Amino acid sequence: MRESTRYGLSGLLSLVAHAIFIVVFVWSFQVSHEPLAQPDDELPSYDIDFIDFEAKEIEPDAAQGEVEPEPPETQPDPPAPEEAAPPPTELPPDPAGSVEPEPEAPPKPKFGEKSSKIKSMVPPNATWTLMLANKRIKKLPFRDSATEIMAPLRDFRLLVDEAGFDVWEDFDFVVMGSPDATDQTQAFVAVQYGFGHEEMMAGIDRACAREH
């Protein structure tokens, strides 16, 4: 088939299809005119009855229900007047003036509480301290046993053996201490005696002379 014949046949078929579509469209929207009905000249008759009623005025609040009035606000009772404070009582003037009370005496130490002041007699760096209360135990039968710890010490022998003092009759207390128990040259000794200072110095001189 030639090219021109094929194009001509295609155009003819397209034209026929469009014509059929137009005919169907016009036919579907075809309007038919029907004659209108003639109106009736006679009017219908109606029966009207009039009812008389008495007019009554209605309040809007009453129609919605009566509103109860709000209760009046209660005023608080006024506070009771405070009683006036009594005037201060005037005291008679003190001619002697105000005297400060004496301070209370410190309470006595309880049983077992340490009251010794031996710590203040020895150097603060002492690691051991011994005290012999000669005046208190010199009349007891075991007094010599109390000196067994001090007797080997060099300073104790210096006072008794070298200086020639009687540990029970010449001294009331003997206190010894040292920062090093292994070094007797660092020992400290203090005694309380009742004789004169010159006699004490003489005894120390005797002990030093015997040492040299």
For residue 67, the model assigns a pLDDT of 56
For the segment 174-189, what is each residue's pLDDT rounded down to a tens digit? 888 888 878 877 878 8
Cα Rg of the chain, angstroms: 70
CA distances to 122, 152, 171, 209 from 119, rounded to whole Å, are 6, 22, 19, 32
For residue 2, the model assigns a pLDDT of 60
Between 114 and 8, the more confident residue is: 8
pLDDT at 114 exceeding the cut of 60: no
For residue 98, the model assigns a pLDDT of 57
For the segment 59-77, what is each residue's pLDDT rounded down to a tens digit? 655 555 555 667 677 777 7
Distance CA 205, CA 169 (A): 20
Q: How many Cβ atoms from other residues are within 10 Å of residue 165's Cβ?
A: 22
For residue 112, the model assigns a pLDDT of 55
Between 100 and 134, the more confident residue is: 134
For residue 31, the model assigns a pLDDT of 46
